[in-house]
Amino acid sequence: MSADQHLQALTKVVVNNLENQHDWTQVQIHIQDNLPRPLIYGLPPKRLYVHPDEQIDIIKAEKQLNQRVPQEPELEWVLPLHLAEKWSISDFAAVFDAITAIPPGGEFVNANEDAQWQLWRGPKRGKRILLATVQDDSTVTYYWMHNGLVKPRQN
Amino acid sequence: MASTEDDRQVRISKIAGRYLVFDIDDVAYIRRQHGICAVFTGTMPQNPTQNVFLGLPLELYAEDAKMLLDRKVAYIADDPLEHLTQLKSMDDATRKSYLQSIKTQRRTAQLVFNEAKAQSMAKHKDKRKPKQPQPPVVVPTELPLPASSADDVTAAVDQEEEGGAESLLESSSSKPVKTDSSTPPQKPLVKEKLPAITPTTSNAMISNGISNPDVENHTALPLYSYLNERGYFITPGLRFGGDFSVYPGDPFRYHAHYMANSYGWDEKIPMLDLVTSGRLGTAVKKSFLMGGQKPATENSEAGELRAFCIEWAGM
């Protein structure tokens, strides 16, 4: 099997897993010249990542407005990988440099609002990619990779 | 204090390839001003098991040493070499002044002992006073006992019946115990003498060194100084499964945010390492930080440092 076919199969496994196991919608395969392989993006059923500082800002805003702040899901990038692969810092850096913070189509979702807690959404947010690591038994594990120093969530 | 800290030069002793700091003021200085905690490694040979409360010397990473050296606030002394040359080349005057400094230390030690002794005597005096009206304890056994307790009497009688011959019981009999208790009043007669000391430092012997050996094996320096410059404190990370654990401030106040590994720019990292480290980091409420620096090329100097944080996605 050629490398190209391997990547296609890998991408397909991850797309199927996202759509059927994790109920993602609008899942698209994204091909770009300066990317080493196809990326995937899509909309998770609920919000996948809340930065700990955003959480604090949301609580403050909710207290001030006296109403719940809606937590709509955002489009997220997914990088399909196989467990047997080896990537270097430079490889990851190349992927992060090639992408925009928000996948195509999600840029203007919250663009008009400028409340403090909105800084964590929309194009101002830091770049992040969901690493989808596929095992031979078709298990897929998902890990967030953030660009730069991003403090951990309070689990 | 601030004025003296401006031109402070931390002495880093290089011994057997390790970088050690022996001066407690230096330790406080690098922790406060440079965000370096490092690890205390000193322990007492008699009681080496306590590994939480260790003392001087402080062992630095090669990265710490290099960073302090680059900031021109430290020098590295080749300690064994410096001591040997100093001992060999010592002239009479230096030797005398060194011996004099030892004597001063012994006098100080004597003063401290005396003070402690006086304090404990004063403390015990109050406790002993009420006991003094009980004469039986101090009375020598040669005299007939005033029958303070029946047992004592029989024991004494038993011994007299044996005719003072060596008995197995002698060591445990009441006799020596009682004589012992009568001895303390004689103790102050012992001749006063300066106590012997084991010097804890050879500071007085060595001059402030000029020797400045190179620091080797500081491969993680780019990531290390990148984090240090941003105010993060770094301690060894093996306990959390990485090279370093990274704190957002002094570890006395904060929990670690990251467990960090440093990699080469093109070093291939197995995906399994990322998955396991990410999982482990999440389990200990940290995020796994990986960083590497773009190497210098012909038309550019040492490049940017890229850092990525990995967390479990929760799905």
* β-strand partners of A130: A78, A144
Contacts of B310 in chain A (CB under 8 A): 131, 143-146
For residue B236, the enclosing domain spans 219-315
Q: Tell whether B265 lies on the interface with A, counting CB pairs under 8 A.
A: yes
A104 Cα to chain B: minimum distance (Å): 22
Please say whether the dihedral angle defined by the alpha carbons of residues B292, B295, B296 and B300, taken in this order, is positive or negative. negative
The one-letter code for the residue type at B40 is: F
- Residue whose token pair is 């990322």: B274
| Residue A58 and residue A117 in contact, taking contact as beta carbons nearer than 8 Å | yes
The helix (run of H) or strand (run of E) holding residue B153 is: helix B150-161
Establish if B93 touches chain A: CB-CB under 8 angstroms. no
Whether B139 and chain A come into contact, CB under 8 Å, resolves to no
Instruction: Look at residues A86, A18, A81, A145 and name the one whose alpha carbon lies nearest to residue B313.
Output: A145
**Per-residue model confidence (pLDDT) at position A53:** 85
Mapping DSSP onto H, E and C, the string for chain A reads CCHHHHHHHHHHHHHHHHHHHCCCEEEEEECCCCCCCCEEEEECCCCCCCCHHHHHHHHHHHHHHCCCCCCCCCCEEEEEEECCCEECHHHHHHHHHHCCCCCCCCCCCCCCCCCHHHHHCHHHCCCEEEEEEECCCCCEEEEEEEECCCCCCCC
Q: Are residues B72 and B207 in the same domain?
A: yes
For position B306, which CATH number holds? Answer: 3.40.1350.10
pLDDT confidence bin for A73, thresholds 50/70/90: confident
Which residue type does B306 have? R
**Averaged pLDDT, B82-109:** 84
Query: Which residues in chain B are contacts of A81 at CB distance < 8 A?
Result: 271
Residues of A in contact with B275 (CB under 8 A): 83, 133, 141, 143
Q: pTM of the prediction?
A: 0.72
pLDDT digits (tens, 9 = 90+) for B253-280: 998 999 999 999 999 999 999 999 989 8
State how far residue B94 is from chain A, nearest Cα, in angstroms.
54
Of B96, B117, B123, B255, which is the active-site residue? Answer: B255
Residues B207, B58, single domain; the answer is yes
B226 catalytic, yes or no? no
Same domain, B113 and B184: yes
* Residue B256, both tokens: 């670690």
The answer to whether residues B157 and B209 belong to one domain is no
B153, pLDDT greater than 90: no
Domain A3-146 matching CATH 3.40.1350.10: the answer reads yes
Partner B contacted by A68 (CB < 8 A) = no
**Which has more confidence, B212 or B227?**
B227
- Going from the C-alpha of B307 to that of each of A154, B227, B293, the distances in angstroms are 21, 10, 9
In this structure, the answer to whether residues B70 and B211 fall within a common structural domain is yes
Residue B97's pLDDT band (boundaries 50, 70, 90)? confident
In a domain, residue B198? The reply is: no
Angle (CA) B230 B236 B240, round 5°: 100
Rounded to whole angstroms, what are the CA distances from A142 to A14, A25, A85, B311?
10, 17, 15, 9
Cβ separation B275–A152 shorter than 8 A: no
Q: Is residue B232 part of a domain?
A: yes
User: Is B57 contained in some domain?
Assistant: yes
Q: Do B242 and B304 belong together in one domain? A: yes
Catalytic annotation present for B268? no
Least CB-CB distance to A89: which of B263, B272, B282? Answer: B263
Beta pairing class for A128-134 and A76-82: parallel
Domain count, chain B: 3
Looking at the complex, does the CB of residue A46 fall below 8 Å from at least one CB of chain B?
no
Domain spans, chain A: 3-146
Q: Within 13 Å of residue A25, how many CA atoms lie on the same side as its CB?
A: 5
% of chain B residues with pLDDT over 90: 23
B130 in a domain, yes or no? yes
A152 to B307: CB separation less than 8 angstroms, yes or no: no
> CA-based Rg of chain B, rounded to a whole angstrom?
32
At B145, is the pLDDT very low, low, confident or very high (cuts 50, 70, 90)? very low
Q: What SS3 state is found at B157?
A: helix
Residue B247 a catalytic site member: yes
Partner B, chain A 101-120, Cβ-Cβ below 8 Å: none
Give residues 197 to 236 of B whose Cβ lies within 8 Å of A.
230
Highest mean predicted confidence (pLDDT) among B58-72, B76-90, B169-183: B58-72
Residue A93: CB partners within 8 Å, gap ≥ 6? B294, B306
For residue B131, name the pLDDT band (cuts at 50, 70, 90). Answer: low
Instruction: Write down the catalytic residue from B224, B247, B258, B263.
Output: B247
Tell me if B29 is assigned to some domain: yes
